[in-house]
Amino acid sequence: MIVRSDVVALIRDGLSDRAIARELGVSRRTAGTIRRTVGAPSVREVYALTPDQMWDRYAQPTYTGGHMDWTGPTNHSGVPIVKSCHVSYSARGMAFRRRYGRDPVGYVRATCDRKGCVAEEHVADAPMRAELNAQYNAIFGGAR
């Protein structure tokens, strides 16, 4: 079977076989066959997991730099998300809560240069980033 990359991308984004069929004009059977071919779990199976189970399954450590790649669902912009009971959470926000034990203020972003990194040690909320920028400016003088 030919595996269509557009179907695989939508599977990775967390869409159901029915939603993929509606969006791309393929049959649900085709979407389901491609899902099984690439080894992706069914949407029901994925979203029945708790947020911690999703984290354990999809946050994969890399071999260098302490980074973690997100191999699970993303939103329409490609931001890593955790879905549970039809509610979406930011995977980086979850990493922040796991690391600091509190809810983040503003957006949580990776402090490293690796695209999509969700490592708990590499995330910062808005006040933390502002403090880091102030420290950088005090040391090196100039906007970062």
Which pLDDT score, from 0 to 100, does residue 125 have?
94
Is the confidence at residue 144, as pLDDT, over 80? no
CB burial of residue 25 (10 Å; 0-12, 13-18, 19+): exposed
User: Which of 15-19, 37-41, 140-144 is predicted least confidently?
Assistant: 140-144
- Residue 19 to residue 89: CA distance in whole angstroms: 21
Domain boundaries along the sequence of the chain: 1-45, 49-144
Quick check: 48 pLDDT over 60?
Answer: yes
Q: What is the pLDDT of residue 40?
A: 85
Instruction: Pick the more confident residue, 126 or 72.
Output: 126
Residue 125 to residue 103: CA distance in whole angstroms:
9
Q: What is the pLDDT of residue 47?
A: 65
pLDDT, residue 2, reads: 78
Question: Which residue in this structure is represented by tokens 């040391």?
Answer: 139
Least confident of 85-89, 105-109, 114-118: 85-89
Least confident of 99-103, 121-125, 132-136: 132-136
